[in-house]
Amino acid sequence: MELLDVSLVNWSRAQFTLTAMYHWIFVPLTLGLGVIQAIMETIYYRTGDEKWKKATKFWMTLFGVNFAIGVATGIILEFEFGTNWSNYSWFVGDIFGAPLAIEGILAFFMEATFISIMFFGWNKVSKGFHLTSTWLTILGATLSAFWILVANAWMQHPVGMEFNPDTVRNEMVSFWQVLSPFAWNKFLHTVISSWIVGALFTLGVSAWFLIKKRDTDFAMKSIKVAAVFGLVASILTALTGDGSATNVAKHQPMKLAAMEGLYKGQKGAELVAIGVLRSDVQLNDTSDAFLFKIGIPKALSLLAFNDLNAYVPGINDIVNGGYVAHKTSQTALSFDEKKLRGNLALKSLADYRKAVAEKNDSAATASRATLMANYDYFGYGYLDKPEETVPRVPLIFYSFHLMVILGTFFIALFGIFTFLSFKSRFNFENGRWLLYIALWSIPLGFIASQLGWIVAEVGRQPWAIQDVLPVKASVSAISAMSVKITFFLFLTLFSALLLAEVRIMLKQIKKGPSQEH
């Protein structure tokens, strides 16, 4: 196997990470604000109260600014699959490209069609048709997220495919398998958690108006919608998070072990509530990985397998193999065994192509059979040592636990504001500290959302496609310097776009809803 430039791999990863993280600043706010503005317009449609129309138009303006910049970063992100990850695109393009194509044809055109009516159709179309356009716009944005998340979920749990040794590509054999329960759960968890970002933004901005004693009726109306919507979204996010943990335990046990800093497998494994990892812990280290921790007995086994006494493998177990996975009779293979099978798969592929070229049918048949028998471990043939299969445990562990802490805080915050906003005698003038908490909680939603993606994507390293293709075998054969240069160009561009969005939004917020027409 030809060795790749390590700097090329690292800079390609850095550039894609940069683009994805900037893009994901805009997406969750789009999804969350879109639903909130649609709810407000629905209330306006049912009540005829012009104050709700004014509130809808105010949040719609902020939605539009964010939506436009999100589209720009998203287009660049998709192009990077061709420019920086051409080996990946060639290897699985028939499968990965299908949901992205549907996203472009169906969801994007749906958004583009109805968003113009939503923004410019006031007083030009009927109230009912305008409301329908608003809901269809956010439905289009949500469908766009759905197909992208289907593609991402397939990378985490590749199904519905068959490898074709003649083309050296994976080909889709079942579109419905690609739409697996793993994909549905990822979609629900990601989109619903994005609603939290929109709710926090609406709650915080509305709190600012109350602090400034401006547009108080508008602010209170917005707080009621944001608080209830945010509370429902936070609870649903926790519930879908439980489903995500079950999927990860079944299909990505290394990620789950990293999320909990679990090096040695246990029956009735505890869930770490708070902990501090040792900085010097290494693979196959038998001593405690924590300097300090507080755990919930047997909770990890329950969360992962709905069984208080289920065995949860640790990082060392997954690398060394020899354990029996929960509710199966299969003994897990070690890294060395997987690598042997991966090497055999790669060799069999080369032998098959040679036999085909030489028109040796019997040799081609035998090599193909050996390849397919070992294909599940194809990707391990590209790896050199077991340490490569262990992701960055501290980053994943702290990201996951901070995300959970923030999620708990959001439930409490939205719960308090829901209760108080419907309490007729309560005056936020006497509880200004709550308003300041809401205001300064706006960035926490974005942080929690980014942490979720760190857990999801860093947690599956070294794989671009779980167990099938590692990241280092996915890159394009281009100059590392060109990727480095474009990294800094994108950093400058995205930072300028973000700064422009913040300035425009701040200007619109300061104008307030009274300026909306």
Rounded percentage of the chain residues whose pLDDT exceeds 70? 97
Q: What is the pLDDT of residues 302-335, one digit of tens each?
A: 988 888 999 999 999 999 998 888 777 788 999 9
Q: What is the pLDDT of residues 86-127, one digit of tens each?
A: 889 888 888 888 888 888 777 777 777 888 889 888 989 999
Q: Flag whether pLDDT at 2 surpasses 70.
A: no
Length of the chain: 517
CA distances, 296 to each of 301, 314, 462 (Å): 10, 17, 30
| Cα separation, 513 vs 501, whole angstroms | 18
Q: Flag whether pLDDT at 1 surpasses 50.
A: no
Do the Cβ atoms of 148 and 103 come closer than 8 Å? yes
Structure tokens at 60: 């719609």
Q: Is 96 helix (H, G, I), strand (E, B) or coil?
A: helix
Structure tokens at 311: 């065995």
Q: Flag whether pLDDT at 512 surpasses 80.
A: yes
Q: Say which amino acid occupies 435.
A: L
Q: Flag whether pLDDT at 371 surpasses 80.
A: yes
Residue the block writes with tokens 């970063």: 73
Q: Is 517 helix (H, G, I), strand (E, B) or coil?
A: coil
CA-nearest of 331, 306, 304, 307 to 320 is 331
Mean pLDDT calculated for residue range 363-386: 93
Residue 91: CB atoms within 10 Å = 22
Do the Cβ atoms of 389 and 254 come closer than 8 Å? yes
Q: What is the pLDDT of residues 390-429, one digit of tens each?
A: 999 999 999 999 999 999 999 999 999 999 888 766 667 6
Confidence of residue 190 (pLDDT cuts 50, 70, 90): very high
pLDDT at 103 (0 to 100): 81
Four-residue CA torsion sign, 222, 73, 8, 488: negative
Confidence of residue 206 (pLDDT cuts 50, 70, 90): very high
Structure tokens at 492: 């400058």
Residue 322: CB atoms within 10 Å = 11
Helices 393-421/432-440 angle, 10° precision: 140
pLDDT at 373 (0 to 100): 93
| Cα separation, 339 vs 346, whole angstroms | 10
Do the Cβ atoms of 58 and 516 come closer than 8 Å? yes
CA end-to-end distance (rounded Å), the chain: 64
pLDDT at 515 (0 to 100): 63
| Cα separation, 114 vs 465, whole angstroms | 35
**Beta-ladder partners of 170:** 163
Q: What is the pLDDT of residues 258-293, one digit of tens each?
A: 999 999 999 999 999 999 999 888 888 888 889 999
- The CA-based dihedral angle spanning residues 409, 184, 15, 93, taken in that order and rounded to the nearest 10 degrees: 180
Q: Largest Cα–Cα distance of the chain, in whole Å?
A: 87
Q: Flag whether pLDDT at 187 surpasses 70.
A: yes
pLDDT at 517 (0 to 100): 47
Q: What is the pLDDT of residues 425-479, one digit of tens each?
A: 666 766 788 999 999 999 999 999 999 999 999 999 899 999 999 999 889 888 8
Do the Cβ atoms of 15 and 38 come closer than 8 Å? no
Q: What is the pLDDT of residues 141-177, one digit of tens each?
A: 898 889 989 989 999 999 999 999 999 999 998 888 8
| Cα separation, 386 vs 425, whole angstroms | 63
Q: Is the pTM of this model over 0.85?
A: yes
